[in-house]
Structure 1
Amino acid sequence: MSFCMLALDIIGQACPEFRMFANLVKRLIVVLFVSGVAVAGTGYWYFQEALSKPLTFGESIFTIKRGDTLSGISELLLQKGIIREPWSLRLLGRQQGNSNAIKAGEYELPETLTLREFYDRIVAGKGQVDMRVTIVEGWTFKLMRQALDGADKLVHLTSGLRDEEVMQQLGYPGQHPEGRFYPDTYYYRSGDSDLNILKKAYSLMQKKLDEAWAQRTPEMLLDSPYEALILASIIEKETQLRDEQPEIAGVLMNRLKKGMRLQTDSTVIYGIGDAYNGDITRKHLKTDTPYNTYTRGGLIPTPISLPGEGSLLATVKPATTRNYYFVAKGGGRHHFSRTLKEHNAAVQKYIFGK
């Protein structure tokens, strides 16, 4: 502005007739400058007022979807009647320079909140609502995938993929997925993916398996952690009672040691697959599959379920027992026998009611 004023003074001195016009222009420049400062000051005050004014959100949950922009969020706040000046949030984002760091999710908000506090929350991801999905001990990988597919607000990156494709996405191509994931309750936020939960469950199972394997006793005859995982998955399907799991592990170890077939119904059922209708028959027991432990000796090729910590520890620390047989007697419990004769009598009693 000072350069313009100096130029007008020089021209006015050189041309007296122009002096009156130059004075008028100088006054106009001063007025415009002062007005500009006043407008800027008013705008700044109005902006700060908009940021610090308490806003009523009404709904306790505010959802930001993946891909939402600050402009879109501003318009949504305007539509809900929460703000009157959508430009204020956009301007704050430009001022802070981190508007692209907004976290998608479900936010639990207090009844009142300033616009600045709201912005700080959605950039930091503070106050997001945790959701959860529970993976149950003894489930198959198929049931686990169904649970993830039905989980609310979870991004389903694995939907439509074959099991082997899922394992490839996880970075474990060629691995059979059964039994590889630890059954637990997993917390996530809106916009998280099923792939992330699978990664957590895989890592946790590996950790639990390694910890269990480090505690193995001399009675544990298996050669590798994966073999322990296989046997633990059978124990998990036979019983989920913690006090019975070591005894069942001891029975199965005794049978393996003596070269006896495991003869567990749970492995037969797994081998039948979708053809199983809830009732195991003699035909099923005689139908040979890689998982039929009535027709084949030794361990099955893969786990048949997701074993929990109890069955993992029971596998590596089996009970020292003289039993070789067990049969369900109701209430989830089993009757254990040393000899085939005792076992047959127990079957007649508990299965056939004789």
Structure 2
Amino acid sequence: MTAAIGGGRLVVDGLEKHYELDGAEVPVVKGVTFTIEPGKFYSLLGPSGCGKTTTLRCVAGLEASNGGSISLDGTVLSTGTRHVSPDKRDVGMVFQNYAIWPHMTVFQNAVFPLQVGGGKLPKREARQRAMEALELVQLDAFADRPATALSGGQQQRLALARALAHRPSLLLLDEPLSNLDAKLRDTMRNELRRLQQDLGITALYVTHDQSEALSMSDRVAVMNGGRIVQEATPRELYYRPADRFVADFVGRVNMIPAVVRERGAGGALGLEAFGTRLEAAEESGSAGAGLAIGEEVTITFRPESVRWHETAPDRPNVVPGRVVRVEFLGEIVEYEVEIVHGDAAAGVVVGRGAPLDSPATGSACFIELAPHACRVLAS
């Protein structure tokens, strides 16, 4: 399978899904809308119970929706009254538990979807496609091996080969890396993204792991309570969160209470926090736009944007503090600084930096918060 498969355009519009519980309707997906352009990698990210997997299962046809519509390349797959069965949708799916058939060999697992149902192919063509899919994931040498003799990573790749064997225009992935150990998960994450790009296939990925979503996706939709609360590129999502939930869920973040004291040119804000003046270089149309003087807000900034100094630099947003914790994490050091205002502690800031350039526990220091790294959110 050296040539690109090509990808379809998925449109989900106002998707609704509820379950019956004790005679009452319990909404799980509430008006979810998004579009995935052909060949793009799109992730649904959120905590357990947010509706992301149910959304994926509705797209796959494993769940019937209660409202809204789902279409793939202009073909309507689902409405509140119409439901195309999974086997008649041009999709492939990789499940969280891989769903490998233990009584079959590697080859038999890969070829099985091509031998049954409406997608049944002539025996020779089915064998060729199955072997191409196994070669793609570097399992062709294990074709005759029992599926149960594969490692966890190999089973994940077999599940992927099986999903790709019939060359779908949409690939659905439901937390496929969650059962792997950390190092293998990183390796498979890179392999999966490379395959998706090489094949040009459209992918919808579900995960609760923000590192997976940020590193693999062209766009990410964060879900909470059955709704999409923000959709953006990974970089925008990380550095420009729409609200406190997104800021807190996507990566580590500092959240500092503050009060708006003045507005400057270009939407810049003058704020009071830690008993001192801080600046935030807010962009037009951002969450800080339209805030009133005297309004209570939250300043958010990432630990890696924090800088510590032994002496105070002549720049804005520098506050004194005392290092209360230093934790070595291998490639980085995380440290916690208690901010000092007068004789009292005014708050705590968490920073991250290189192991060879970190403060010592108990030492006095100055913390610098670059204005462009500070995000202001309504409290």
Shorter-chain-normalised TM-score: which range? Answer: under 0.3
- More relative contact order, 1 or 2 (CA 8 Å, 6+ apart): 2
TM-score (norm 2): 0.19
Q: Which has the higher helix share?
A: 1
TM-score (norm 1): 0.20
